[in-house]
A and B are shown apart, each in its own frame.
Chain A
Amino acid sequence: MTKRDQSQTLIVDAMQHEIDQRIVSFDVPGHKQGKGNPMLRDFLGDKAIHYDLNSRKTLDNLCHPTGVIYQAECIAAEAFNAGHAFFIVNGTTAAVQTMIMSVCKAGDKIILPRNVHRSAINALILSGAIPVYVNPGIDKKLGIGLGMAKKDIEEAILANPDAKAVFVNNPTYYGICADLKGIVQLAHSYGVKVLVDEAHGTHFYFGENLPVSAMAAGADMAAVSMHKTGGSLTQSSFLLIQNKADMGHVRQILNLTHTTSGSYLLLASLDISRKHLALEGVSVFNKVCKLTKYAREEMKKIPGYLVYDEALINGDTIGNVDPTKLSIYTKDIGLTGIEVYDILRDEYDIQIEFGDLGSILAIISVGDTSLMVERLLAALTDIKRKYKKDPSGMLDHEYIQPTIIRSPREAFYAETEVVPIKESAGRIMAEMIMAYPPGIPIAAPGELMSEEIIEMIFYAKSKGSFITGIEDTSITNIHVLKEDN
């Protein structure tokens, strides 16, 4: 088969053609190339608002693509070495939901670690799939959840031979990768499919010497946030599948939740970013790796900060470490990651991706220069000097093993009552509560509340973490299942 030309941008070309033809629009969007909304036009600029188009004959239709969108998807599929690539404009959340709902009907079992993103738990509520949780590995020092151990997955499969799929979070937010190839071989040997939340792994498809990507590892489906490290606009993603024969079924499932008014600005950003990475990816990510390596080496010279790197690799729960991530453990200087995050932002005008109880994460990407990296290093040096505290009395873990009483969907739709969080120990959660970011639930629907979880919530809150997910935005009360339920 002849390779498709990766320098093409068919969606962008078709949009340009529409503009060049000076078509008179009697269709939506109603702002009509910005003429109807001068304030918005001034804010976004003429060009951006001009290209905010809607599905038309020449622009194809995202729900049922047969023209330029379909062709652009085929080109993207080749760039990712996938059977097919779906353009996603509802965020990677839509891709994660589609993966789960494509393989699980209500009542079907899915094996997954509990430290998944809220979008995966929400997909369980939507689909009615029953989670079989595998405890992720835990790093004692860092206090974070890692990948799943292969023997734990195998045990879960043997105990649940009817499970439809294993859902893997790879890499984690911190850049920790599981032994993905090993997991895929294992699952496939039992006829179980492998779905990968690869939100933070776009660059694995385009760089050199990076951890293995889901498609290369043989996974069946993967959700890839092109907007996170691939340079496209926020909310745009790819859903990849290994076997093109599944395309029709997956499209039907995707259309259950995907918008029917797909934004062409987002589609164009996917098209252009795919071209950029397909043509320049190797040099782009070599530059990123070089910058991050420099930052890691400089950080190692500052005692007190612990930098995540390849020394963590253990071949199982840490199969690899993403070299483009700058994850730093800060607790030895007496500061939670959340506190360092806040100081960087409030005192130094530096925004990082997130801070949690023990660590911070800085994303270094295609848009960064060494001058900006120096600012972060200088600020962390100064923070250690000025804010260092005695680290005793700090919570030492990020991840609490849940006790599951009900399926997420069952708990979510059950009869509930409202109780103060402080008095909720022993009750079954009907909603989800998490610190955001990273957006990994501390407790999810169907799980038993405990004193340990309550302590974690208020500790994170007291350190400045943004607690979210529950109905009561003051973070005082929660919905739990009625006792007789």
Chain B
Amino acid sequence: MELWYTEQHTENVRFSILVEKQLFQGQSDFQRVDVFESKEFGKFFTLDGLMMVTEKDEFIYHDMIVHIPMATNPNIKKVLVIGAGDGGTVRELCRYSTIEHIDMVEIDKMVVDISLEYFPITACSLDDPRVSIYYEDGLKFVRSKDNEYDLIIVDSTDPFGPGEGLFTREFYGNCYHALNETGILVNQHENPYYDTYQHSMKRAHKRIKELFPVTKVYQAHIPTYPSGHWLFGYASKGIDPIKDLQADYWNGLNLTTKYYNTDLHIGCFMLPNYVKEQLEHVSE
């Protein structure tokens, strides 16, 4: 007998992983949560059937969503993380002793609960004394914040479920207001390859571009996400991710990373022509 997990990447494309066993299945107020064990990717979990985190490739996503902004502004002290219930983003942030406080806002407690139980690899820093966890809608949390954060990381699901509100103008508008004058916003930015994702990617980019003076997009290769080619958005009120890169400072921290390095930092902003073209035409 073979048990396969299959995600429908598009109507016509499927991605499958051979599953050893299912470790958890639950329905929260917001979504269905499943945890599986596999030979190829180790443990992984899905939300409403969509791949979120695997033990084998999570480092790529978490390296890229955290170290890019952290190497750009060494003075980041207060961080807001939205989503990120698996804890991987917080784990990477906690490696910086210069960070004083992290607010993590995850709408679904069940995601944190299963991460604590099955994914100590990502959830290991959620008990760091600098971390406060709030279980509420990120859109609500950010609405009342004013000039408070140096960095906001939007580590959300796709915009087809509870994450939908995190791809909207009202959300980015409130984020802008919650950031201080050197603030940086980094968000997971979907993939540029398949049509359905492409559409949300362009919309998110358009909304951010209308608000922030500096907006750049960077990329990484994430094997278990649709098309494998994933984008991140970088936006700030002034700090440029390439010109202001503090390479010597960051290398002096001696952090060991499996994916990120300061050469890749510059390289990841160099986009393929078809992606550049999509981003240039978002306002049309």
Contact = CB atoms under 8 A, between A and B. Distances in A.
Contacts of B170: 348, 350, 375, 378-379, 381-382
A141 interface: no
A349 B165 CA distance: 11
A8 interface: no
A378 B177 contact: no
B130 interface: no
B198 interface: no
B173 interface: yes
Contacts of A349: 168-169
Interface in A357-402: 370-371, 374-375, 377-379, 381-382, 385-386
B256 to A, nearest CB: 39
Contact of B140 (A348, A374, A385): A374
B169 A347 contact: yes
A7 to B, nearest CB: 27
B169 A371 contact: no
Interface string B151-178: 0000000000010110011110110010
Contacts of A301: 144
Nearest to A376: B170
Interface in A433-455: none
B181 interface: no
A386 B174 CA distance: 11
B137 A348 contact: no
Contact of A382 (B137, B164, B173): B173
A95 B144 CA distance: 46
Contacts of A379: 168-170
B139 interface: yes
Query: Looking at chain B's contact residues, is the secondary structure mostly helix, strand, loop, or mixed?
Result: helix
Interface string B87-100: 00000000000000
B173 to A, nearest CB: 4
Most buried by B among A375, A382, A386: A382
Given A371-B162, A371-B164, A375-B165, A381 B143 contact: yes
Given A348-B168, A348-B169, A375-B139, A382 B162 contact: no
Contacts of A385: 173, 177
A349 B143 CA distance: 18
Nearest to B163: A371
A166 to B, nearest CB: 44
A349 B173 CA distance: 14
Contacts of B162: 371
A374 B139 CA distance: 7
Interface in B79-118: none
Contacts of B174: 378, 381-382
A378 B137 CA distance: 11
B16 to A, nearest CB: 30
Nearest to A349: B168
A337 to B, nearest CB: 18
A259 to B, nearest CB: 39
B164 to A, nearest CB: 7
B137 A370 contact: yes
A377 B169 contact: no
A374 B169 contact: no
Nearest to A379: B170
Contacts of A378: 139-140, 142-143, 165, 168, 170-171, 173-174
Contacts of B171: 378
A295 to B, nearest CB: 11
B174 to A, nearest CB: 6
A381 B139 CA distance: 11
Contacts of A347: 169
Nearest to B169: A348
A350 to B, nearest CB: 8
A375 B140 CA distance: 8
A348 B139 CA distance: 14
Nearest to B210: A347
B177 A375 contact: no
A371 B173 contact: no
Contacts of A348: 168-170
Interface in B127-153: 137, 139-140, 142-144
Most buried by A among B140, B142, B144: B140
Nearest to A386: B173
A378 B144 CA distance: 9
Interface string B21-41: 000000000000000000000
Contacts of B139: 371, 374-375, 378
B168 A374 contact: no
A371 B165 contact: yes
Nearest to B136: A374
Nearest to B146: A385
A381 B173 CA distance: 9
Interface in B237-272: none
Nearest to B137: A374
Contacts of A375: 139, 165, 168, 170
Contacts of A350: 170
B143 A371 contact: no
A244 B271 CA distance: 74
30 contacts: A301-B144, A348-B168, A349-B168, A349-B169, A350-B170, A370-B137, A371-B162, A371-B164, A371-B165, A374-B137, A374-B139, A374-B140, A374-B165, A375-B139, A375-B168, A375-B170, A378-B139, A378-B140, A378-B143, A378-B165, A378-B170, A378-B173, A378-B174, A379-B169, A381-B143, A381-B174, A382-B169, A382-B174, A382-B177, A386-B173
| 10 pairs of A and B residues whose beta carbons are closest in the complex | A382-B173, A378-B170, A379-B170, A374-B139, A378-B139, A374-B137, A374-B140, A382-B170, A381-B143, A375-B165
Interface of B: 137, 139-140, 142-144, 162, 164-165, 168-171, 173-174, 177
Interface of A: 301, 347-350, 370-371, 374-375, 377-379, 381-382, 385-386
Given A371-B165, A377-B140, A378-B171, 20 more contacts: A349-B169, A370-B137, A371-B137, A371-B164, A374-B137, A374-B139, A374-B140, A375-B165, A375-B170, A378-B139, A378-B142, A378-B165, A378-B168, A378-B173, A379-B170, A382-B170, A382-B177, A385-B173, A385-B177, A386-B173
